[in-house]
Chains A and B, each alone.
Chain A
């Protein structure tokens, strides 16, 4: 929503008492008059730690958001907060590049000296603070109008972010999916997983490998799972077989037993490998080959029939 500020009306608006305690420049007085004229209601004035630093809080005309105006002798900034559902980390990944790419004009138009747009992330619910600043003497009513418009556009982008997909359908939040494409591998997108089929030139056997799209995180670790199933049956593996298989050790990766669940009715044993999301393409190819080769060898050991 844009609130145009008719320049003709600005000078007719008198200064209110609450602002008289602030050392405002003529331009800043004009800005507050413009905001009042446009329906913004002042909620409070707060002096900050530094002598000439103040914050004025205003409610938007239909109280749909709060606007903060930060003033010093040399600087004026408009600030508005938007709360988003993402975690701090996800919000930073998703919105920082989005805002930087969509609003590059903020820097050049309004802030010759620098920080036109701040993204401040708090804890818990993530609050993104959009801030536009200008030297006090150039914070004209025209600047105010444009700044409000820019803040409004940016806020709308935060509320309705575009789908983060590229033409291949691989999302940037799924780095290994993107790496599969870069590697030139043939794969099928099956919802939560990518499916790859490997054929062995010597045995003519084949093996399906799956890449889980979800990223698992632990501290600095970010991982996506690669796996291949080599045992699949309505009956659970015997204790003897379980003991035999799970005593096997591997140079990399290992086995996991999957019990039947609501989503699938079979007992499965998978060979799995955890790949860091930053994995180089060549290493990813090696990992996938290891998963396919190892799972196929295990399947062959259990059953000469090549089902999986």
Chain B
């Protein structure tokens, strides 16, 4: 039996100064040599992938680190389905939320304008990231492959759920 004090991923640890971590995360993204830019809101970096059939998939890498226990994580997500005003129905939720991927999970999101979406997300653990990471660092490679995986799952799910309508 393993005895522990309550530790919840649900609750973030108190926010500390994040500026150094933000700079480190940007360096890590730079080291992947992928093209990215700051989103309009400034909350994320966006990466746009060109996929087969002239389809595109936009990925978001949150700029602000999340902390729990000793861990520092970033959310890398993409939108697979979207609807104005109506949430996904029960059948759609079951179809998507039972999908098991090698890494990451699907979740539902409703923004302040009642815009509903199904997102695929990986919480990337960057706790061990070096201050000035390089392309050869295992964690940079892991970050790059995680980004590729989020794109692949997002595009595959988008195509499955929306057919020719390409959620970008």
> Which chain B residues lie closer than 8 Å to A289 at the CB level?
4, 7, 69
Q: A219-B145, A246-B108, A253-B9 are in contact. Are A200 and B4 (CB under 8 A)?
A: yes
Those 5 A-B pairs whose CB atoms lie nearest each other, nearest first: A254-B105, A239-B90, A251-B68, A219-B145, A216-B102
Q: A243-B108, A253-B9, A293-B7 are in contact. Are A221 and B2 (CB under 8 A)?
A: no
Q: A218-B145, A297-B8 are in contact. Are A288 and B2 (CB under 8 A)?
A: yes
Tell me if B66 counts as interface (CB < 8 A to partner A).
Answer: yes
The one of A216, A242, A251 in contact with B123, judged by C-beta atoms closer than 8 angstroms, is A251
Contact A246 B123 (CB under 8 A): no
B74 CB to nearest A CB, Å: 10
Once A and B bind, how many residue pairs between them come within 8 Å at the CB atom? 161
The one of B6, B12, B149 in contact with A251, judged by C-beta atoms closer than 8 angstroms, is B12
Contact B2 A259 (CB under 8 A): no
Using CB atoms, name the residue of chain B closest to A257: B97
Contact B106 A283 (CB under 8 A): no
How far does the alpha carbon of A218 sit from the alpha carbon of B143 in the complex, in Å? 12
Tell me if A151 counts as interface (CB < 8 A to partner B).
Answer: no
How far does the alpha carbon of A109 sit from the alpha carbon of B145 in the complex, in Å? 44
Contact B8 A293 (CB under 8 A): yes
Tell me if A223 counts as interface (CB < 8 A to partner B).
Answer: yes
> Which chain A residues lie closer than 8 Å to B146 at the CB level?
221
Contact A294 B8 (CB under 8 A): yes
Tell me if A258 counts as interface (CB < 8 A to partner B).
Answer: yes
Contact B103 A202 (CB under 8 A): no
Task: Given contacts A246-B97, A276-B125, list 18 more A-B pairs with CB under 8 A.
Answer: A198-B2, A198-B3, A220-B145, A221-B149, A239-B93, A246-B108, A247-B108, A252-B73, A253-B105, A255-B97, A256-B98, A258-B98, A272-B105, A280-B128, A290-B8, A290-B69, A293-B8, A297-B10
Binary A-proximity of B34-65 (CB < 8 A = 1, otherwise 0): 00000000000000000000000000000000
